[in-house]
Amino acid sequence: MELLRALATLAESPTPEHAHLGKLLDLPGAPEPATYTEVFVFNLYPYASVYVGREGMLGGEARDRVAGFWRALGRMPPAEPDHLTALLALYATLDDQEAADPDPARRLLWRQSRKALLWEHLASWVFAYLDKLGEIAPPFYRSWGALLGEVLAAEVEAVGPQEILPLHLRLAPALPDPRQDGAGEFAGALLSPVRSGVVLTRADLARAARDLDAGLRMGERRFILTSLLSQDADGMLGWLAAEARRWASRHRAREGVAGEVARFWAGQADGAAALLGDLQPSKREGPKDVPPRNTKARC
């Protein structure tokens, strides 16, 4: 578990120790504060609540559920109980306690707790997170994410599948239809990964603006998304639908590791792609009227 602890440490803001850890793990380059900020502060927040909460934001009921798990173990939750570093460190500690306990019955309890933590609060979101990290991060953090994904995949295989879907996912609604629920909730739900099946970062929205040749107005993600939809609703809805289809394929590629969790995420992305396509004005337009041909013979 020392490898997992080292990887957990690297999810925090860089210190001189991080460069040493990177060398020990044979990661390319060194972590830089500016790079860390761009990846983890501006794009991919390393908190479970952002990915499994219906709001797609820090905190909320999702963080409360994670804090409840800490309390169930008899531990005081830290200030940020759903931070990736805290969750990985807790997992390593539970593994240590399982290995050190001489009582077989207590060892089984530690193992069950470790399995619950892995499936409920890590595997429920972290593989999608690491997939997106591999897309946008520079070499050091991209390699860090790939190694963490390998370690967690091995842990999933070691503890075995969970019989039921994690509670975070069981409680997650699908995307609302703006034709019935209004546009306000729709824009926010698009930015909630557990509802859309898509991890949509600031970098993705900048890419959408370039692809659509639209103006990029900087601000919070919801502001940027709303701006792009107002400039070119048909184009942006089509872009989002294509992104959802891409994510559905990506989730399915994880089924061998994440099983039902991967199938859940793929289903959310499939539903989002279908709704977004249906909302495109160009898809709703019927065939254009064609003027009748002049059948009179020419003189």
Asked if residue 179 is part of any domain, the answer here is: yes
The verdict on 17 and 133 lying in the same domain is yes
Asked if residue 295 is part of any domain, the answer here is: no
- Which tens digits make up the pLDDT trace of 35-84? 999 999 999 999 999 999 999 999 999 999 999 999 999 999 999 999 99
The verdict on 183 and 202 lying in the same domain is yes
Query: If we measure between CA atoms, which residue out of 6, 117, 111, 109 comes closest to residue 70?
Result: 117
User: Rounded distance, CA 12 to CA 176, Å?
Assistant: 35
Asked if residue 136 is part of any domain, the answer here is: yes
The verdict on 51 and 157 lying in the same domain is yes
User: Rounded distance, CA 77 to CA 61, Å?
Assistant: 15
The verdict on 187 and 164 lying in the same domain is no
Specify the pLDDT at position 297: 38
Specify the pLDDT at position 261: 97
CB 125 within 8 A of CB 48: yes
Asked if residue 299 is part of any domain, the answer here is: no
The verdict on 206 and 164 lying in the same domain is no
Residues of the chain with pLDDT under 70: 284-299
Last residue of a domain, one of 141, 168, 195: 168
Q: Mind giving me the DSSP string for 138-154?
A: -HHHHHHHHHHHHHHHH
User: Rounded distance, CA 268 to CA 194, Å?
Assistant: 7
Question: 119 lies in which domain range?
Answer: 2-168
- Please count the structural domains in the chain: 2
Angle among Cα 66, 67, 68 to the nearest 5 degrees reads 90
The verdict on 183 and 92 lying in the same domain is no
Q: How many residues does the chain have?
A: 299
Last residue of a domain, one of 99, 134, 168: 168
The verdict on 95 and 150 lying in the same domain is yes
Phi, psi for residue 220 in degrees, rounded to 5: -65, 155
Specify the pLDDT at position 160: 94
CB 176 within 8 A of CB 189: yes
Specify the pLDDT at position 296: 42
CB 201 within 8 A of CB 133: no
Asked if residue 293 is part of any domain, the answer here is: no
CB 23 within 8 A of CB 97: no
Asked if residue 279 is part of any domain, the answer here is: yes
The verdict on 162 and 224 lying in the same domain is no
The verdict on 191 and 214 lying in the same domain is yes
CB 8 within 8 A of CB 84: yes
Asked if residue 149 is part of any domain, the answer here is: yes
User: Rounded distance, CA 177 to CA 17, Å?
Assistant: 48
Angle among Cα 175, 177, 178 to the nearest 5 degrees reads 120
121: domain CATH number is: 1.10.3480.10
Report the Cα–Cα distance between both ends of the chain, in Å, rounded. Answer: 92
Q: Mind giving me the DSSP string for 187-252?
A: HHHHT-HHHHS----HHHHHHHHHHHT-----SSHHHHHHHHHHH-HHHHHHHHHHHHHHHHHHHH
Specify the pLDDT at position 25: 95
pTM: 0.90
